[in-house]
Amino acid sequence: MTVLPRHAVGRRTVLGLAGAGAVAAATVPGPAAAAEAVFQHGVASGDPLPGGVLLWTRVTPTPESAPGSGAGPQADVTWQVSADAGFTTIVAAGVERTGPERDHTVKVDVAGLRPATTYWYRFGHAGAWSPPGRTMTAPAVADTVARLRAGVVSCANWEAGYFAAYRHLAARDDLNLVVHLGDYLYEYGTGGFSAAGKVVRATRPAHETRTLADYRIRHAHYKTDPDLQALHASVPWVITWDDHEVANDQWSGGAENHTPGAEGDFAARVAAARQAYAEWMPVRLGGDGRIYRRLRYGDLFELSMLDLRSYRSQQASGTAADADGRTIAGAEQLAWLTGGLVASDAIWKLVGNPVMISRLDVGTLPAWLIPPLAELIGVPRNGVVLNLDQWDGYNADRERLVDALRAARTEDVVFLTGDIHMSWANELTTRDTGPADPAAAEFVVPAVTSDNLNDFVGTTALSGLAASLIRATNPHVRWVETDGHGYGVLDVTRSRCRMDWYHLADRTDRGTAARWVQGWSVGRGSAKLRRESRP
């Protein structure tokens, strides 16, 4: 049985390295140069497979080659993958050419590596080596895996604070992976969305991002953060996008934060944002730009990462949330998700879910318990809901998914969720699955820095009352905390899936401490949640 503590070598490392005799020789850089000037944006890895991993960096070959400038020369960048931190045993190497047409970013999809193995990697140009990164390949599909831990994060707004959550995760010695659930960056101009109205640190560009150059500059600015760089260099990431990578409350044909005409063509804005994202993020996208995908970790779990922005119907209120033709995932993606969950033979079926799937009712009695009432007073069958940007605004898709899981008797499904800027432990129920018989579990992580309920209402007393009211009206919400910023740590074993929540003392202080606040788990064969003591 393979146990995967952070960067440990799995049992399959005793096997020979595939293609070892054909490993490329490293290209030796020329005269010395300042690494800080050449590699200003760090290194990253992502989407680990049993035999490979995606590596990323950005090179600045000349001063005029600034992000978003469209200027600068073509540059040859050396890359190396090593079996040791000293780079004495190079197992893969090569040279990648980049230039202004891709904003001088470099992405290398390395193959021929061993499963469940730790590697170190670096990039070289003009005599300078980048800081080294450390990564880990996934176990082979047939491997029996005992355990895996992942950091889980969402909603990192530069202007609202420092990325101390990333620093705390990077300092841990037990992570195999980071799962980022979207809102990696925010599109607003300075002051557009800050820390309860206060700009902690100004973003670049100062105006709202709308063009390709804007989005490139914004991505580059985020990747100058030292704590973000540290976490990227520490472990591989699996990421998806939510709305702010383009514009707030995005849907397939527009966004709340996009004014047609005054802000140009929305399709052109999406294309610009997606191109910059593809260049700057360590993620594999399909040939059509599709980001939803599935990764496997031995027999322990499959992770399905969703895109809930590109295909969704426009947000709507009232009974429109029940309309059968409305979709949050799109028919093709929903069929892919449903079919994958039902067919999976992995112990755990994890879903990287950008927006909350669990109901959030605000009436004293959920309307879904009294179907005629929904017709009489004009509220969705699911009940009166707060946030129609979540799955609550797309009841038909949620019911189709849950009905399919029920019909196939698919168990051990866990949704990992971001977006709502608060911490939740939920049991997934619909009109046909009451609190006694949930269909899946959901763990929602807080924002890294973005405003939460306390930041909006201004007092802890009111936000605490809101949490009590939410729990009273929603028995499937086992725990909710509306005030904290921070991160989650997911601990997956063969018998249970557990999330621990950690909150920061002060998001506006880069050196702030983090504390454990709660732990919840779901056991194999049940979607009922159980509160856990501190690990």
Task: Report helix, strand or coil for 239.
Answer: strand
CB of 269 closer than 8 Å to CB of 208: no
Q: Could you tell me if residue 416 is left (phi over 0), alpha (psi between -120 and 50 degrees) or otherwise beta?
A: beta
Residues 28, 41: Cα–Cα separation, whole Å: 22
The confidence score (pLDDT) of residue 154 equals: 98
Closest CA to 165 of 186, 180, 148: 180
Residues 43, 134: Cα–Cα separation, whole Å: 9
The strand pairing partners of 178, in sequence order, are 151, 237
Question: Is domain 2-136 in CATH 2.60.40.380, yes or no?
Answer: yes
Residue 22: Cβ-neighbour burial (10 angstroms; 0-12, 13-18, 19+): exposed
Q: What is the residue type of 367?
A: A
The confidence score (pLDDT) of residue 380 equals: 66
Hey, what are 384's tokens?
């009166």
Closest CA to 523 of 490, 485, 491, 496: 496
Question: Around Cβ 372, how many Cβ atoms within 10 Å?
Answer: 8
- Hunting for tokens 């890895």 — which residue is that? 45
The confidence score (pLDDT) of residue 363 equals: 61
Q: What is the residue type of 261?
A: G
pLDDT, block means (10 residues), the chain with 535 residues? 43 26 36 77 98 98 97 98 98 98 98 98 96 98 97 98 98 97 98 92 98 98 98 98 97 96 96 98 95 98 98 89 92 98 98 95 49 48 72 94 96 97 94 80 97 72 74 91 95 98 97 98 97 96
Task: Report helix, strand or coil for 157.
Answer: coil
Q: What is the pTM of this model?
A: 0.92
Residues 422, 447: Cα–Cα separation, whole Å: 7
Q: 205 preceded by cis ω (within 30°)?
A: yes
Q: CA of 486: how far to CAs of 388, 460, 472, in Å?
A: 25, 17, 25
Closest CA to 266 of 161, 187, 160: 187
Residue 54's contacts (CB-CB under 8 Å, 6 or more residues apart) are: 45, 46, 47, 107, 108, 109, 110, 282, 283, 284
The CATH classification of domain 145-192+283-532, taken from the options 3.60.21.70, 3.10.129.10, 3.40.50.300, 3.30.540.10:
3.60.21.70
Residues 142, 154: Cα–Cα separation, whole Å: 31
Give CATH 2.60.40.380 domain extents, the chain. 2-136
- Give the helix/strand (H/E) hosting 119: strand 118-125
**What is the chain's Cα-based Rg?**
23
Give the HSE-up count for residue 378: Cα atoms under 13 Å, Cβ half-sphere.
2
Task: Report helix, strand or coil for 347.
Answer: coil
Give CATH 3.60.21.70 domain extents, the chain. 145-192+283-532
